[in-house]
Amino acid sequence: MNDNIFTWQDCLSAGDRVAWALEAVRRWRQGPVFRQALDATAYFRGENTTVAAKTVLQAGKVETRDENGRRRVRTQMRDVVGNRLASRHLFRFVTQQVQYLLGSGVELSSAEVKRRLGSDFDRQLADMGEKCLLHGCCYGLWQHGRLEVVPLVRDALSGFLPLADELTGETLGGVQFWQLSPARPLYLRLMEPRGETLLCAEDGRIRELRPLQPWTETLPGRPPLVPLWANQEHCSEFTPAIRSKIDAFDRIFSDFADNLDRANDVYWVLNNFGGTSDEIAEMLAEISRVKAVASLSDGSGASATAEPHTIAVPFEARQAALKLLTRELYRDWMALDTDELTGGSLTNVAIRTAAAAMELKANRFEWECYSFVRRLLLLLGEDAVRIRFQRETIANASETVGDIAKMRADIDLRTALRLNPYVQPDETEVTAEAAERERRRAAAG
């Protein structure tokens, strides 16, 4: 059995499927796919796992006593925890892409079919959108008339192991697993084309909590598991190109904070001081304690002085690097940087130009979302329903209203109200009917 890839054929060839599933989950949690998805989840929460291991070198003093009881001070270099500042770039990019395309939900040509999907379907679809962009894929399980979100990763102990067919690549099964802590039982949900089995692993023993339960809704020859992919390549949008730039940004920002901390300290320039490093450390300890020293003479007859200085932290280069990394991150993700939409760039033409890259990426993601909803509707026996995603609009509302006024002679009232960003969709028909009644009353009287 390969440590990184598991298939439905592996499960079929296993003599003991239950024991195989437990071992497969153990290897899956240690494999690169699960670990990368776990890292993406951490970065999404604002936890940079790379910067979290960062330390800084710091000089400290070690005090000892000699055989005569005299205090001795010596210097020692050590690694200490410095500033570990993480950014929220990934959260910003994923949220923007998902909410831009899925924030208004999915529109179906049949209101009855939309009702069958459930009142919470749009929120669940947006949740799946976030997870698939992070992990590369997220599964939706349709059972008992509702959609259950099955992500590849929830935390370090919980997730989902998909089992694909080696011939077609279709998901023919999977193992969902969860565990509250390493000391708690591990629960396994073994999914097969014919149904699911609930298992519990504890103290080296595996118990069957619920025997095989048939699916209430099924697809031909496979479980009602529908994948939502992040892209045509079936890989996470948290690519090495994105991660490396986020790491560079966070390291520069953290190092800058470390330098600011060090700049708060005063360092001393000792002139004509003939002491050893240990004597320097002892003298500086005395300065810190009483803010003065009795003598700085080294016995040569020449005067010795100690001058305090502070550190000026250079920030121009770091500031330029942070700006460059931020711009490149937005370009790589094809996201819209709203900070660029200021002043003269607030016209609708300028906004559409700035959002062109985001539109192109949303087009690719929309095909994956469309395919997911289409396959889900097949489970409901619906194959003639039109699917449409209403994107969140980014526009200068005042300019839009002015354009509507210029077009007013060529469009009817309902169209004008529908285009008006200040009029809510549920208000359009009411307002149009009221205006029509007033027009008829005026014409009659």
pLDDT digits (tens, 9 = 90+) for 248-289: 999 888 887 777 666 555 656 666 666 666 666 666 666 655
Higher pLDDT, 427 or 228: 228
Give the pLDDT mean for 9-38. 94
Structural domain includes residue 426 = yes
Please state, in angstroms and as integers, the Cα–Cα distance from residue 25 to each residue in 151, 157, 307, following that order: 15, 10, 63
> Is residue 219 very low, low, confident or very high in pLDDT (cuts 50, 70, 90)?
confident
Structural domain includes residue 106 = no
Residue 325 scores a pLDDT above 80: yes
Q: What is the mean pLDDT of the chain?
A: 82
Give the pLDDT mean for 308-318. 66
pLDDT computed for residue 342 by the predictor: 62
Neighbours of 32 (CB within 10 A): 9
Decide if 105 contacts 125 (C-beta within 8 A).
yes
pLDDT computed for residue 1 by the predictor: 41
Beta-carbon contacts of 192 under 8 Å, excluding residues fewer than 6 positions away, are 11, 172, 173, 212, 223
Lowest-pLDDT choice from 31-40, 138-147, 337-346: 337-346
Sign of the CA dihedral 73, 74, 78, 84?
A: positive
Residue 426 scores a pLDDT above 70: no
pLDDT computed for residue 202 by the predictor: 92
pLDDT computed for residue 198 by the predictor: 97
Q: Which tokens is 30 given?
A: 């240690």
Structural domain includes residue 10 = no
Higher pLDDT, 437 or 389: 389
Decide if 246 contacts 88 (C-beta within 8 A).
no
Decide if 159 contacts 139 (C-beta within 8 A).
no
pLDDT in tens, 405-417: 667 666 777 776 6
Decide if 39 contacts 242 (C-beta within 8 A).
no
Residue 300 scores a pLDDT above 60: no
pLDDT in tens, 166-175: 999 999 999 9
Structural domain includes residue 401 = yes
Rounded-to-integer distance, Cα 394 and Cα 420, Å: 13
pLDDT computed for residue 437 by the predictor: 72
pLDDT computed for residue 277 by the predictor: 65
Domain interval for residue 294? 266-310
pLDDT in tens, 49-75: 888 776 555 555 667 777 777 776 666
Kindly give the residue spans of alpha helices, DSSP state H, lying in 31-74.
Answer: 32-44
Beta-carbon contacts of 123 under 8 Å, excluding residues fewer than 6 positions away, are none
pLDDT computed for residue 255 by the predictor: 81
> Is residue 209 very low, low, confident or very high in pLDDT (cuts 50, 70, 90)?
very high
pTM of the model: 0.77
Decide if 374 contacts 322 (C-beta within 8 A).
no
Beta-carbon contacts of 51 under 8 Å, excluding residues fewer than 6 positions away, are 84, 85, 86, 247, 250, 251, 254
Rounded-to-integer distance, Cα 329 and Cα 34, Å: 24
> Is residue 367 very low, low, confident or very high in pLDDT (cuts 50, 70, 90)?
very high
Structural domain includes residue 303 = yes
> Is residue 2 very low, low, confident or very high in pLDDT (cuts 50, 70, 90)?
very low
- Quickly tell me which residue has 């079936």 as its tokens: 234
Q: What is the DSSP string of 8-33?
A: HHHHHH-SSHHHHHHHHHHHHHHSHH
pLDDT computed for residue 65 by the predictor: 73
Pairing mode, if any, of strands 267-271 and 305-309? antiparallel
Q: Please give the angle made by the CA atoms of 294, 295 and 297, to the nearest 5 degrees.
A: 175
Rounded-to-integer distance, Cα 397 and Cα 188, Å: 52
Residue 261 corresponds to which amino acid? Answer: D
pLDDT in tens, 114-171: 999 999 999 999 999 999 999 999 999 999 889 999 999 999 999 999 999 999 999 9
Domain end call among 290, 310, 330: 310
Determine what percent of the chain is predicted with pLDDT higher than 70: 68
Give the pLDDT mean for 291-312. 56
Rounded-to-integer distance, Cα 28 and Cα 11, Å: 14
Give the pLDDT mean for 180-204. 95
- Quickly tell me which residue has 């770039």 as its tokens: 89
Pairing mode, if any, of strands 106-108 and 205-214? unpaired
Q: What's the alpha-carbon Rg for the chain, to the nearest Å?
A: 32
Give the pLDDT mean for 80-95. 84
Q: What is the DSSP string of 251-305?
A: HHHHHHHHHHHHHTS-EEEEES----HHHHHHHHHHHHHHS--S----SSSS--E
pLDDT computed for residue 253 by the predictor: 84
Structural domain includes residue 105 = no
Structural domain includes residue 305 = yes
Length of the chain equals 445
Neighbours of 26 (CB within 10 A): 13
Domains of the chain: total: 2
Structural domain includes residue 152 = no
Decide if 269 contacts 309 (C-beta within 8 A).
yes
Lowest-pLDDT choice from 21-25, 122-126, 341-345, 405-409: 341-345
Domain end call among 250, 277, 310: 310
